[in-house]
């Protein structure tokens, strides 16, 4: 399972329909949160995502609409009896930001929080995936993140294994795990019965940014690109001045990167009642696009074979 829940899709100002930025990734039950704007914990409750399985928070940058939800969230998890450590990653200043909670005694957290400063190019390696930090172009130091799953093993050719004399059972499992087996004095190797490795899935989250080379490179062939789409194209000058992106700019980058799905978020409050201009401008360039709405969910499937 790889499910994305858009907890907050608004721009700098919250509106009646949109909370500040927060995107939850549920990967096989592990929760990873990308940005945590004000009110995120309430959105988690409304969406029924859970929070106690949250392993990491990734902050894109230190504008208030991207991190003000963290204090309340970590306090609530403490009240609920959390014991497991919580990792908080982000640009320079994240470790210092996290240490503030430890210094403020009235938080009285019952679990450890660990802040880690990242720089562009840093890679966090987990058993089945990595998270890569990349540089984005905003008005303050900022990072985007690419969650990249490891390649999956190729398909097991049962008929070929039987032809080679491998009996069904434990030896099948060994071959599927990448180990050679011996049958009647002959070695049968995994490559004899396994197809080519199959790609894992890639999700890219940009946070607030101008379209730029680093975002393009990180997004190449991604299954999902969640990109800043703050403004319609008519606001291009203001998008450039405020270091955000228009819908058309994000769509052009998605097309060049060859992504499978584009989701536009961080929608300016000027479109709080009608996001049609955002959708229309992006659709002119890239067909497979969605303008995110609060509490929207997406399942990211494996690619067809």
Please give the positions annotated as active site. Answer: 65
Residues 148 and 139: beta-carbon distance below 8 Å: no
Residues 298 and 224: beta-carbon distance below 8 Å: yes
DSSP-assigned letter for residue 256? H
Region for residue 217 given its phi and psi (left: phi exceeds 0; alpha: psi -120 to 50; beta: otherwise):
alpha
CA 168 to chain centre: 39
Q: Measured between alpha carbons, how far is 193 from 172 in angstroms, rounded to an integer?
A: 9
DSSP-assigned letter for residue 138? S
Q: Closest Cα partner for 43 from 16, 75, 90, 8?
A: 8
Bridge-partner residues for 210, per DSSP?
A: 137
Range list of β-strands (E), the chain: 2-8, 22-27, 30-34, 54-58, 86-90, 113-117, 123-125, 129-135, 143-149, 181-183, 186-188, 202-205, 224-228, 262-265, 289-291, 296-299
CA 131 to chain centre: 8
């Amino acid at each position: 399972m790889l499910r994305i829940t858009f907890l907050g899709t608004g721009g700098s100002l919250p509106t009646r329909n949109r909370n500040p930025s927060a995107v939850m990734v549920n990967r096989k039950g592990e929760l990873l949160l990308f940005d945590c704007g004000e009110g995120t914990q309430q959105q988690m409750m409304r969406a029924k995502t859970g929070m106690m399985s949250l392993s990491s928070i990734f902050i894109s940058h230190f504008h208030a609409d991207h991190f003000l939800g963290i204090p309340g969230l970590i306090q609530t998890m403490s009240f609920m009896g959390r014991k497991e450590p919580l990792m908080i990653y982000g640009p320079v200043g994240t470790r210092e930001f996290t240490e503030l909670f430890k210094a403020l005694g009235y938080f009285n957290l019952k679990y450890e929080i660990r802040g880690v400063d990242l720089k562009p190019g840093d890679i966090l390696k987990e058993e089945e995936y990595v998270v890569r930090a990349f540089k984005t172009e905003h008005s303050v130091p900022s990072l985007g993140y690419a969650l990249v799953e490891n390649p999956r093993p190729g398909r097991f050719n049962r008929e070929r294994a039987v032809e080679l004399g491998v009996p069904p059972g434990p030896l099948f499992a060994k071959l599927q795990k990448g180990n050679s087996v011996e049958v009647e004095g002959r070695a049968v190797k995994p490559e004899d019965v396994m197809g080519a490795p199959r790609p894992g899935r890639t999700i890219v989250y940009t946070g607030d940014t101008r379209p730029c080379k680093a975002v393009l490179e990180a997004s190449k062939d991604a299954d999902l690109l969640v990109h800043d789409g703050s403004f319609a194209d008519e606001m291009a000058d203001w998008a450039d001045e405020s270091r955000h992106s228009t819908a058309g700019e994000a769509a052009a980058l998605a097309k060049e990167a060859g992504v499978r799905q584009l989701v536009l978020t961080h929608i300016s409050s000027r479109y709080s009642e009608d996001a049609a201009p955002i959708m229309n401008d992006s659709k002119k360039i890239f067909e497979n696009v969605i303008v995110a709405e609060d509490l929207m969910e997406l399942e990211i499937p494996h690619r067809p074979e």
